């Protein structure tokens, strides 16, 4: 009997407690807290609720705040209109099992079935499958890591007991206010019908949340979906890593900029000015980083997301980076990754202006989208671009030689780095459809772009 008890305790420890410990304490395979300068993620569990969730969506819309909803599949099926509203208003959707039942008391097969059924319910309503998962009560079992490997498991950095009435709105507000800072992941509850919760509790949560949103607005915080916070976190980590590991190499490379290279750069900048005149490039944002011209597409037909097809003769807004600005970025960057990050950030900053320019110059809707060719294309998908290999031919050959020469000039480690990795430096077409480009007009990254990008990278 004692041996049987020992074996049962060992099994429970292995199946339940150890996975919970390593995920919640050590953060194994889960996302709990981000790193950001302004962004914070507020997440909601257990809904949707027909009374409180619409009030919550009204409140979020009032403050232009985006959130992440981990929904219960059975409730999603009962209230598809609320799920559709969440999706249409740019919020992120995640899975919270089909019924609110702990993974500790379910077999691995049952957990997988619960998750799949909820995914099917959300897909039927929105046309897109969720990629985020939060187990009820944040409890994982041993097999969740492998069976749910295609989902990003999300926990939290702040929990405030808002599922009970007892704390009240004032206490909830004070608890949240203490932890209100960039990078935090709050978990709140928009439904009080779950076992152990109080049905009226979300009313107190909404009162406290309204004050938190007001405070965040005054502090300059941005309330974003969990996917955007994860992207920002990844970028900041990569940036820091590159600063630590390759800062010395870049500094040495900058010190080696001799008179020969300075002459090449001077000639290059003269050619840059001539190029702008010959091809009649027009500036975006006063020409700080990007210029453009309208062209006719002359390549092979391209099939893009959303059923858009780019055909020969279609009008495009062709983007051109300012090489003077690129040189400045390269000379002040710590590494090639740092160059790419800076360029992506500059492009993101320019996209709202590009959208407004398309709207201004093309009221008839003849411009099919944005187009460019660049060797710095890694990460472009995260902004809504699609990348395509250049078709083989003389244009591809000359473009590759030209862009490698450009990279050897602007690269922080010089031409040696480019020669060493010449086989991996591949110029590619970067294309964005008109509809996706115009979605940037508000100045904020469209939520569907972040979700689409993550859907292609499910194992982050």
Mean pLDDT by 10 residues, the chain (460 residues): 46 46 58 93 97 98 96 97 96 95 84 94 94 89 72 93 95 96 96 93 97 95 94 84 60 53 66 78 75 91 86 92 73 65 82 91 92 76 84 65 58 48 63 92 67 44
* Residue where a domain stops, chosen among 173, 207, 224: 224
Please classify residue 262 by burial: count the beta carbons closer than 10 Å to its beta carbon, then call 0-12 exposed, 13-18 middle and 19+ buried: exposed
Q: E strands within 322-385? A: 367-374
Flag whether 414 is in a domain. yes
Per-residue confidence (pLDDT) for residue 437, from 0 to 100: 92
460, part of any domain: no
Same domain, 52 and 189: yes
Q: Which of 434, 302, 321 is closest to 374 using CA atoms? A: 321
pLDDT in the model for residue 238? 79
Selected catalytic residue, list 91, 96, 100, 189: 189
Same domain, 303 and 207: no
Element (H, E) at 102: none
Alpha-carbon gap, residue 150 to 148, rounded angstroms: 5
Backbone angles phi, psi at 214, to 5 degrees: -65, -45
Answer whether residue 60 is part of any domain: yes
Q: Using CA atoms, how far apart are residues 110 and 319, in angstroms rounded to an integer?
A: 51
- Does the annotation mark 63 as catalytic? no
Residue 122's CATH number: 3.20.20.370
Give yes or no for a contact between 375 and 404, defined as CB atoms under 8 angstroms apart.
yes
Domain end, chosen from 203, 224, 245, is at 224
Strand partners, 296: 315
11 CB burial (10 A radius; 0-12, 13-18, 19+): exposed
**Predicted local distance difference test score (pLDDT) of residue 442:** 78
Instruction: Measure the CA–CA gap between 247 and 254, rounded to whole angstroms.
Output: 11
Q: What residues make up the domain containing 194?
A: 2-224
Q: What is the CA radius of gyration of the chain?
A: 25
Grouping H, G, I as helix, E, B as strand and the rest as coil, residue 42 is: strand
Q: What is the pTM of this model?
A: 0.58
> Is 184 in the same domain as 235?
no
CA dist., res. 355 & res. 340, Å (int) = 22
Specify the number of domains making up the chain. 2
CB neighbourhood size of 306 (10 A): 9
Based on the domain organization, do 166 and 286 belong to the same domain?
A: no
Catalytic position from the list 45, 46, 239, 322: 45
- For position 137, what pLDDT does the model report? 86
DSSP state of 390: P
Question: What pLDDT, on a 0 to 100 scale, did the predictor assign at position 388?
Answer: 87
CA distances from 453 to 222, 235, 382, 457 (A): 20, 15, 5, 7
> Quick check: is 189 catalytic?
yes
3-state secondary structure of 434: helix
| Residues 336 and 381 reside in one and the same domain | yes
Q: Is residue 279 situated within a structural domain?
A: yes
């Amino acid at each position: 009997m004692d041996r049987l008890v020992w074996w049962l305790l060992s099994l429970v420890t292995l199946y339940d407690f150890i996975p919970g410990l390593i995920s919640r304490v050590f953060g194994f395979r889960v996302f709990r807290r981000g790193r950001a300068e302004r962004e914070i993620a507020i997440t909601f569990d257990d809904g949707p609720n027909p009374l409180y969730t619409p009030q919550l969506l009204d409140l979020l819309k009032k403050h232009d705040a985006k959130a992440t909803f981990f929904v219960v599949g059975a409730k999603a099926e009962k209230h598809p209109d609320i799920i559709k509203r969440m999706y249409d208003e740019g919020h992120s959707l995640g899975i919270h099992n089909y019924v609110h039942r702990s993974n500790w008391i379910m077999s691995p097969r049952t957990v997988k079935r619960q998750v799949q059924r909820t995914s099917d319910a959300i897909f039927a309503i929105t046309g897109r499958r969720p990629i985020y998962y939060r187990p009820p009560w944040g409890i994982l079992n041993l097999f969740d890591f492998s069976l749910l490997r295609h989902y990003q498991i999300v926990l939290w950095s702040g929990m405030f007991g808002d599922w009970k009435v007892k704390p009240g709105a004032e206490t909830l507000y004070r608890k949240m206010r203490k932890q209100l800072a960039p990078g935090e992941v709050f978990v709140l509850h928009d439904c009080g019908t779950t076992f152990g919760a109080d049905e009226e509790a979300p009313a107190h949560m909404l009162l406290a949340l309204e004050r938190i949103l007001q405070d965040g607005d005054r502090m300059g915080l941005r309330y974003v979906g969990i996917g955007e916070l994860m992207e920002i976190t990844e970028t900041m980590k990569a940036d820091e890593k590159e600063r630590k590991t390759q800062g010395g190499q870049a500094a040495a490379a900058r010190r080696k900029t001799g008179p020969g290279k300075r002459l090449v750069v001077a000639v290059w900048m003269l050619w840059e000015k001539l190029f702008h005149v010959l091809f009649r490039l027009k500036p975006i944002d006063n020409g700080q980083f990007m210029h453009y011209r309208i062209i006719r597409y002359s390549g092979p037909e391209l099939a893009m997301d959303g059923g858009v097809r780019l055909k020969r003769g279609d009008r495009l807004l062709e983007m051109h980076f300012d090489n003077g600005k690129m040189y400045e970025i390269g000379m002040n960057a710590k590494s090639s990754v740092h160059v790419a990050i800076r360029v992506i950030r500059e492009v993101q900053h320019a996209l709202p202006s590009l959208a407004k320019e398309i709207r201004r110059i093309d009221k008839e809707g003849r411009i099919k989208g944005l187009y460019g060719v660049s060797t710095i294309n890694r990460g472009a998908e995260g902004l809504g671009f699609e990348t395509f290999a250049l078709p083989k031919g003389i244009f591809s050959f000359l473009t590759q030689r030209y862009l490698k020469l450009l990279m050897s000039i602007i690269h922080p480690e010089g031409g040696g780095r480019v020669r060493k990795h010449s086989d991996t430096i591949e110029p590619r077409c970067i294309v964005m459809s008109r509809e996706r480009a115009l979605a940037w007009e508000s100045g904020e990254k469209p939520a569907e772009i972040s979700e689409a990008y993550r859907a292609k990278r499910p194992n982050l």
